[in-house]
Amino acid sequence: MESRLKQVLAMNLAAVFARAGVRVKASFRESSWVIGETIFPFLSMSAFVLVYRGLHAPREYEGFVVLGGAMIAYWNNVIWGMASQFFWEREQGQLQLYLITPVSRMSILIGMALGGIAMTTTRAAAILIGGMLLFHVELPLSRALPAFGLFLLTLGAAYSLGMILSSLFLLWGREVWHTATILQEPIYLFSGFYFPVSAMGAAVAIAGSILPVTLGLDGIRQVFYGKAAHGLLPLAWIPPIQVALTLVFLLVASVMLRYMENLGKHEGRLTVRGD
């Protein structure tokens, strides 16, 4: 019994590392990708720093937008690299290969998440380092450790949400593309990627806090800038909320994945190609 459990664990861990490995290797295989993943997102973020300068905004707002730019990179990875991934796999005729393997779907998704985080960290690091070096954005590094802890909790919750979305996207057709797009700019707005979410009013801000990136970003800004961050919730509340969200999202994702897979089998929607 014990050896069986060990075998299952080892197999699932191997699946996690294998799926993550594909992403990490693919990220560095093409030099154009590395450039695209670092320089260009930095340039987009620079546009907003320059807008703030043009508007004569207080300096800490430039820090807000740099942190927001880094978090956007992860959110986009959740949308395009997690939520939509099973859709792409199905399009390529690869989904059925995942489904016939003796590993949990969650292991494959965790592998995707870890690989995606590794991939995206290059992009986020370019934004943060570029912002600090070129625009002299002030990020008090003495507070980096608690901010990093909160950042990890945020990633856990955000990628767990990505797993729920991936189960939904599993059965969709071309609306996936448009849905993923709709989860970008509107989310940038309601999650306060570019300015404190509290500025939009308590009702909108609390509604936006359903997304872990909203609260995570709000908390990280509070860690770095204190009261100037115009936080939505007291900082002490945010870590337990993120942990709770992670647990709930993981549970929901596991139920949803099973449900959607069964539904897909019944409706014959798990394959779109003959190969």
Question: Do 241 and 220 form a contact (C-beta atoms < 8 A)?
Answer: no
Assess 202 for contact with another protein (CB under 8 A).
Answer: no
In the complex, the smallest distance separating the C-beta of residue 178 from another protein, rounded to whole angstroms, is: 4
Closest CA to 60 of 125, 131, 134, 122: 131
Assess 171 for contact with another protein (CB under 8 A).
Answer: no
Residues whose CB falls within 8 Å of the CB of residue 220, separated by 6 or more in sequence, listed in order: 67, 71, 147, 150, 151, 154
In the complex, the smallest distance separating the C-beta of residue 26 from another protein, rounded to whole angstroms, is: 6
Assess 201 for contact with another protein (CB under 8 A).
Answer: no
Please pick, from the candidates 91, 98, 132, 168, the single residue that binds another protein as defined by CB under 8 A. Answer: 91
Assess 18 for contact with another protein (CB under 8 A).
Answer: no
Q: Please report which residue ranges of 226-273 form alpha helices under DSSP H.
A: 238-267
Please pick, from the candidates 9, 14, 39, 210, the single residue that binds another protein as defined by CB under 8 A. Answer: 39
Place of tokens 């703030």: 52
Question: Do 232 and 258 form a contact (C-beta atoms < 8 A)?
Answer: no
Closest CA to 209 of 201, 173, 99: 201
Nearer to another protein, 62 or 261 (CB): 62
Assess 188 for contact with another protein (CB under 8 A).
Answer: yes
Assess 55 for contact with another protein (CB under 8 A).
Answer: yes
Nearer to another protein, 82 or 245 (CB): 82
By CB under 8 A, what part of segment 236-255 binds another protein?
Answer: none
Q: Which span (5-13, 43-51, 138-146, 246-254) binds another protein, by CB under 8 A?
A: 43-51
121: its two tokens: 């960290």
Please pick, from the candidates 8, 88, 98, 104, the single residue that binds another protein as defined by CB under 8 A. Answer: 88
Burial of 44 (0-12, 13-18, 19+ CB in 10 A): exposed
User: Is the four-CA dihedral 12, 16, 112, 151 of positive or negative sign?
Assistant: positive
- The CA-based angle 103-104-110, given to 5 degrees, is 110
Instruction: Report the 10 Å Cβ neighbour count for 45.
Output: 25
In the complex, the smallest distance separating the C-beta of residue 187 from another protein, rounded to whole angstroms, is: 8
Instruction: Report the 10 Å Cβ neighbour count for 100.
Output: 7
Assess 135 for contact with another protein (CB under 8 A).
Answer: no
Please pick, from the candidates 6, 28, 30, 148, the single residue that binds another protein as defined by CB under 8 A. Answer: 30
Nearer to another protein, 48 or 249 (CB): 48
Site for another protein, rule CB under 8 A: 22, 26, 30, 32-33, 35-37, 39-41, 43-44, 46-48, 50-58, 61, 88, 91-92, 173-175, 178-179, 181-182, 184-186, 188-189, 194-196, 199-200
